[in-house]
Amino acid sequence: MTSIDLNADLGEGMGTDEDLLAIVSSASIACGGHAGDAQTMRHILKICKNNGIRAGAHPGYADVKRFGRFRVVMPLDQLLGQIRSQLFLIRWIADEVGVPISYVKLHGALANQTAEELPLAVGIFATVQAMDPKVAVLALDNSQQVRAAKAVGTPLIREAYADRAYTREGLLVPRSEEGSVIDDTDLVIERCLRLARDGEIVAQDGTVFKSAARSICLHGDTPGAVDLARELREALEAEGILIAPVEPEQEAQLAEI
């Protein structure tokens, strides 16, 4: 049976966490950089444990005021220190709750930057691997994040976005551009079904490109996020597609690519 993972960015103060946790199979949890605190992390991790949902860390620029959606110029060691601090905090809470942190997914501007800049992605993923060589990275497929995961040898889960427009190069259209966020529910569902069945994504200009992504991101801060997530899950299941966490590609598999 074909399966696909649904992940959502959670703990960002949108008030939809518990509803989304009843729908998704993986939770990317804000860990104090752009949003979230010890209380929100602990609450979500407990639900993950009780409901069998895979838990992941969602670090980004330590910039709560701008929600981590603007690139910040800083020394690399300072940025890596921010990432380490966020991961240490969520791992400490996760150990207390008794649920593993299975993957790391970068947030916002930092995610977009590492999708474009290979050296930066390598530096961050190497830092993640040094902290825990078993933890996977959830990376935008067809981006420099995937190449960095191969270079570092960290386990990899390839991701695509349900409600974001793509460039013909396979990257996300910047949020500053019109049409970057897709609010047509039927279109979002159609795109996700095409990805799940055929491994294809249609870019904003009509270009069709291949994607091996097996995890689809649902943004918790998108208006109507819960209804969209519910309708998408129902549509996928109606096509006989199982919603479940996918196993990461391991170093041996990556070396063959």
User: What is the b/e burial string over 81-119, where b = at least 16 CB atoms within 10 angstroms of the residue's CB?
Assistant: ebbeebbebbbebbeebebbbbbbbbbbbbbbbbbeeee
pTM given for the model? 0.94
Amino acid sitting at position 1: M
The 10 Å Cβ neighbour count of residue 61 is 24
Q: Is residue 256 in some structural domain? A: no
Query: What value does the mean pLDDT of the chain take?
Result: 94
Q: Is residue 255 in some structural domain? A: no
The pLDDT assigned to 256 comes to 45
Characterize the bridge pairing of strands 200-202 and 208-210. antiparallel
The 10 Å Cβ neighbour count of residue 4 is 23
Tokens of 245: 């966490």
- CA–CA dist 248, 60 (Å, integer): 22
Helix, strand or coil, per DSSP, at residue 15: coil
92, β-bridge pairs: none
Q: By the 8 A CB rule, do 159 and 216 touch?
A: yes
Q: Is residue 195 in some structural domain? A: yes
The pLDDT assigned to 251 comes to 63
- CA–CA dist 128, 135 (Å, integer): 8
Q: How many domains does the chain have?
A: 1
Q: What is the pLDDT of residues 100-150, one digit of tens each?
A: 999 999 999 999 999 999 999 999 999 999 999 999 999 999 999 999 999
- The domain spanning residue 43 has which CATH number? 3.20.20.370
Tokens of 214: 């097996």
Q: By the 8 A CB rule, do 242 and 32 touch?
A: no
- CA–CA dist 186, 137 (Å, integer): 30
- CA–CA dist 164, 135 (Å, integer): 26
Q: Is residue 215 in some structural domain? A: yes
- CA–CA dist 24, 37 (Å, integer): 22
Q: Is residue 15 in some structural domain? A: yes
The pLDDT assigned to 200 comes to 97
Using alpha carbons, list the distances in angstroms from residue 148 to 127, 141, 211, 254.
Answer: 12, 11, 17, 11
Q: Is residue 42 in some structural domain? A: yes
The pLDDT assigned to 257 comes to 44
Which residue segment(s) compose the domain that 7 sits in? 3-250
- CA–CA dist 125, 150 (Å, integer): 10
Q: Is residue 144 in some structural domain? A: yes
Q: Is residue 238 in some structural domain? A: yes
Q: What is the mean pLDDT of each run of 10 residues along the chain (257 residues)?
A: 93 93 97 96 98 97 94 96 98 98 97 96 97 97 97 97 93 91 93 96 95 92 87 97 95 50
Terminal-residue alpha carbon distance, the chain: 24
Characterize the bridge pairing of strands 215-219 and 101-104. unpaired
